[in-house]
Amino acid sequence: QVQLVESGGGLVPAGGSLRLSCTTSGRTNSNYVMGWFRQAPGKEREFVAANNLSGTRTYYVDSVKGRFTISVDNAENTVYLAMNSLRPEDTALYYCALDARGRWSQRFDSSIYWYWGQGTQVTVSS
């Protein structure tokens, strides 16, 4: 059984940085797709970024491109989402999720992800 454990959220001022971690356990494959989502209070969950577990593919939505960076540490079974130049509008509960079928073309669709982390809160003060 695959499990995802997230950490790294917190409270930072605008312009600050955080690094989220998503550690996987169980049997995984380098082609699996990891999606990053966030949900702000009163808003729908939105797709933020994605990567495959080999780290050879990454994708970012325009609102975070150039500010967020994904990196993969296969030795630690951990994927990192480094977030820089944070803005108040980045405030949300952030989730990592895993698609075990490697459906990269459908990475935007939350329904393809079988496994989800517990979420970690990111709060950016103005």
pLDDT of residue 89: 97
Confidence of residue 39 (pLDDT cuts 50, 70, 90): very high
Residues 61 and 50: their CA atoms lie apart, in Å, by: 9
Least confident piece of the model among 7-11, 34-38, 52-56:
52-56
Taking alpha carbons only, the member of 96, 66, 95, 106 closest to residue 83 is 66
Residues 121 and 10: their CA atoms lie apart, in Å, by: 6
